[in-house]
Chains A and B, each alone.
Chain A
Amino acid sequence: AQKVTQAQTEISVVEKEDVTLDCVYETRDTTYYLFWYKQPPSGELVFLIRRNSFDEQNEISGRYSWNFQKSTSSFNFTITASQVVDSAVYFCALSESSWGKLQFGAGTQVVVTP
């Protein structure tokens, strides 16, 4: 069963627009971790954030922000004032209590045009 769902396959925006990427997860564990990664055209997967299930505070890092809502099992990611360099595939992942293996969503391709 799909544990992490990223329903948006591709999002296209014009530079300076905001873009929100959805991530919905499924788990029965009370302790779990959520991650976001960025994969630019170069192919390397870059760690962006890790959030544990007990910390529902939203987080902001520069133009990036994350909204964690346990009530809806969602961990959404917003890029504010997008730039061409934000063009990449973004992956959401879930790590449950057993062994910590990360289960990834299918990814969302973000295309930012000038």
Chain B
Amino acid sequence: DVKVTQSSRYLVKRTGEKVFLECVQDMDHENMFWYRQDPGLGLRLIYFSYDVKMKEKGDIPEGYSVSREKKERFSLILESASTNQTSMYLCLSGGRGTEAFFGQGTRLTVV
């Protein structure tokens, strides 16, 4: 059974905090992605990675960074959380020539 696991389902953080969202996959996929989903704005790509230590900016990278030290793990970092980063964050693993699966999502609230 394929699995993409995000570290938290719900998270509440304070403005200015550094926030780490973790995503782990067990399918040996090269490609991993971070999206955020907001009402009326759909799914927007933040960053993606096609290999260990490789990263590419998506459509809305500002205020975020990522880390991929191991193939199975892709971390999204909010350097200094702000209220406009309150959102549902979704990790996706796969794509291109393979099936692509989402994690369960992390609903982040920044207060």
Give the complex CA separation of A29 and B42 in angstroms.
24
**Per-residue interface assignment for chain B, residues 5 to 33, with 1 indicating a CB less than 8 Å from any chain A CB and 0 otherwise:** 00000000000000000000000000101
Contacts of B88 in A (CB 8 A): 43
Contact B48 A101 (CB under 8 A): yes
Q: How far is the CB of B6 from chain A (nearest CB, A)?
A: 10
Query: B52 within 8 Å of A by Cβ?
Result: no
Q: How far is the CB of B25 from chain A (nearest CB, A)?
A: 13
Query: B74 within 8 Å of A by Cβ?
Result: no
Look across to chain B and name the residue whose beta carbon is closest to the beta carbon of A102.
B95
Query: A64 within 8 Å of B by Cβ?
Result: no
Contacts of A107 in B (CB 8 A): 42
Q: A91-B43, A99-B50, A107-B42 are in contact. Are A33 and B97 (CB under 8 A)?
A: yes
Contact B42 A47 (CB under 8 A): no
Residues of B within 8 A of A (CB): 31, 33, 42-43, 45, 48, 50, 56, 58, 88, 90, 92, 94-102, 104-105, 107
The 6 closest A-B pairs by CB, nearest first: A100-B96, A100-B95, A45-B102, A104-B43, A100-B31, A95-B95
A100-B95, A102-B100 are known contacts; what are 17 more A-B pairs with Cβ within 8 Å? A33-B95, A37-B102, A43-B104, A44-B104, A44-B105, A47-B100, A50-B99, A50-B100, A91-B43, A95-B96, A97-B96, A100-B31, A100-B97, A101-B31, A101-B45, A103-B45, A104-B42
Can you name 24 A-B pairs with beta carbons within 8 Å? A35-B100, A43-B88, A44-B104, A44-B105, A45-B105, A47-B99, A47-B100, A50-B100, A95-B100, A97-B96, A99-B31, A99-B48, A99-B56, A99-B96, A100-B31, A100-B50, A100-B96, A101-B31, A101-B33, A101-B58, A101-B95, A102-B33, A102-B100, A106-B42
